Homo-oligomer: A and B are copies of this chain.
């Protein structure tokens, strides 16, 4: 098993990425290919006292930035760590690709360079998110701003396989994001999704209101990528703002400071239990090989967890399971949706 790692992606690259690789190598013993600026990578390996030959290094000269147009970047920056890494994945030089770099570029690159599983209309971005009841999968968190109901049915089906195989969850429940629980609520799109999900053999529990999502409304939450992105970002933003305000307020008086000190273990436990990097990054479900997006601000531990996630993904043979599931469960009516997989 070989994991290809974009050493240049993310706010803390390459230092934290390489450190994460070192930790993962130590803990899981899998082969990791580091793609990026070789000099920088070698320097970090040296500073961290890592065996320089324990990693394969592929030198690249470009980095895709967050503010670039994803598709243009993928097409034009041929020697970027992301494009080179994804092409290596496509060419079977590794079994998974992980990047903490531009989400948009990774989605575009994963779809264009690695390609979709036969029968999959669109890959969906699926982060694992903590809730009060445990982790759930949100799909699509932003790969497809506009979706057809058929995509959503496939998102549900792919996530079901992931939850079963990787997170060992029997019969995971699926909830559709809506503005009310009744079947007829929402838009024409949500009503069409509801119908498809209800008619499928998925463990569909119906519409879910956004308010219930942080409490753990379902194991899998499906929606279009616009709504999913909003859920993910509002959830993150709300949590961030609450803790930032709390912190400021705790620092405002000595009584509060003492209280904060006493509550330190509680805050720490909280952060640990609700650490969104605990289960790795967001999977791009539906590509021919594992493509994983680690959070942009990933530190070594988050990268290590994403590598563990890639390992589980590969070991559980998620891609073949999806491929078999699609063949069994779907009659693809919308052939025009099946454009060619690859663009060079």
Contacts and interface: CB of A to CB of B under 8 A. Distances in A.
Interface in A245-292: 245-246, 249-250, 252-253, 255-256, 258-263, 265-266, 269-270, 274
A103 B213 CA distance: 20
A1 interface: no
Interface string A190-218: 10000000000000000001111111000
A233 B185 CA distance: 16
B237 A210 contact: yes
A255 B246 contact: no
Given A179-B229, A258-B262, A239 B242 contact: yes
A92 interface: no
Interface residues of A, number: 58
B262 A186 contact: no
Contacts of A255: 262, 265
Contacts of A146: 187-188
B249 A229 contact: no
Contacts of A269: 249
Given A186-B226, A226-B179, A242-B242, A263 B250 contact: yes
A214 B231 contact: no
A230 B263 contact: no
A235 interface: yes
Contacts of A104: 180
Contacts of A241: 131-132, 214-215
A205 B258 CA distance: 42
Given A263-B250, A266-B259, A215 B187 contact: no
Contacts of A337: none
B234 A214 contact: yes
Nearest to A273: B245
B226 A210 contact: no
Given A187-B226, A233-B209, A244 B179 contact: no
17 contacts: A142-B179, A145-B187, A145-B190, A179-B229, A187-B226, A209-B233, A210-B230, A210-B234, A211-B233, A211-B234, A212-B237, A213-B234, A214-B241, A245-B270, A256-B265, A259-B259, A259-B261
